[in-house]
């Protein structure tokens, strides 16, 4: 089977006017995943799909107002060109403050989409993208938070990092993505490492006990306590065990 038709290849294509920004992803855990071909990331320069010699991708908004709007045509050409390079259908995500707020279940859902689709992350700049492009070719809009960034690039990088670390083989320890904050809708329990005594502050005794059941119970209680103290809003939707429900009430 050729590499191109290998269904297990996971492709992310990014369309941006600043594709160079994505070089920072080639480090650490994500860098290793890309090097080991667990994920393929291709960044496309929107200006390469411009239709004039100045490589223009934006124009003034109809109706007046400040700033510039990204034109539909170059972005459409880029999306269509990417589709010709891929076996799986495109799933186009437009990073925008108007999108649905990204949370861990959304990251998991988009990571799973990578098995059946080619994920195209469309990064807007300026005052946004011509609405007709969004209506015709965007499958979903995604926001990483209720604040406005100067473009979708950082949001796309956040999404790529959050998805990549859930892919099999990306994290060294297969369990580490399961145990952590948000995997069940709770914050993570506190962690300690050597020394046992750091300037008088001691590691909780139970973690030195070797009693794995007691450690698991303690961690579960601490995760719950922390969530209650720092993010009580999460408790409404967290998946609690029968034991945890008793502690919570």
Q: 74 or 97: whose CB is closer to ligand ADE?
A: 97
Closest residue to ligand ADE in the complex (CB): 155
DSSP single-letter state for residue 169: T
Q: Give 197's strand partners.
A: 202
- CA 223 → CA 14, 20, 196, distances in Å? 36, 39, 21
Interaction between residue 145 and ligand ADE (CB under 6 A) = yes
Angstrom distance (rounded) from CA 170 to CA 11: 15
- 93 near 141, Cβ under 8 Å? yes
Angstrom distance (rounded) from CA 185 to CA 20: 35
Binding mask 154-173 for ligand ADE (x = CB under 6 A): -x------------------
Using the rule CB under 6 A, give the single segment among 6-14, 50-58, 80-88, 138-146 that binds ligand ADE. Answer: 138-146
- 127 near 67, Cβ under 8 Å? yes
Interaction between residue 128 and ligand ADE (CB under 6 A) = no
Please report how close the Cβ of residue 30 comes to ligand ADE at its closest, in angstroms.
19
Interaction between residue 62 and ligand ADE (CB under 6 A) = no
Interface contacts to ligand ADE, rule CB under 6 A: 95-97, 143-145, 147-149, 152, 155
């Amino acid at each position: 089977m050729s590499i191109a038709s290998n269904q297990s290849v996971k492709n992310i294509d990014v369309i941006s006017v600043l594709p160079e920004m994505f070089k920072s992803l080639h480090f650490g855990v994500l860098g290793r995943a890309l090097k080991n071909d667990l994920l393929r990331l291709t960044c496309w320069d929107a200006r390469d799909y411009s239709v004039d010699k100045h490589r223009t991708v934006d124009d003034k908004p109809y109706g007046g107002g400040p700033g510039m709007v990204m034109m539909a045509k170059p972005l459409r050409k880029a999306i269509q060109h990417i589709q010709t390079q891929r076996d799986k259908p495109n799933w186009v995500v437009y990073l925008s403050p108007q999108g649905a707020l990204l949370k861990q279940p959304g990251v998991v859902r988009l990571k799973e989409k990578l098995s059946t689709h080619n994920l195209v992350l469309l990064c807007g700049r300026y005052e946004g993208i011509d609405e007709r492009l969004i209506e015709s070719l965007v499958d979903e809009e995604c926001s990483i938070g209720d604040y406005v960034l100067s473009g979708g690039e950082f949001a796309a990088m956040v999404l790529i990092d959050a998805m990549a670390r859930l892919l099999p083989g990306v994290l060294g320890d297969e369990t580490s993505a399961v145990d952590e904050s948000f995997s069940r809708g709770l914050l993570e329990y506190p962690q300690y490492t050597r020394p046992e005594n750091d300037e008088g502050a001691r590691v909780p005794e139970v973690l030195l006990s070797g009693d794995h059941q007691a450690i698991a119970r303690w961690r579960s209680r601490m995760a719950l306590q922390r969530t209650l103290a720092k993010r009580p809003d999460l408790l409404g939707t967290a998946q609690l065990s029968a034991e945890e429900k008793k502690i919570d009430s």
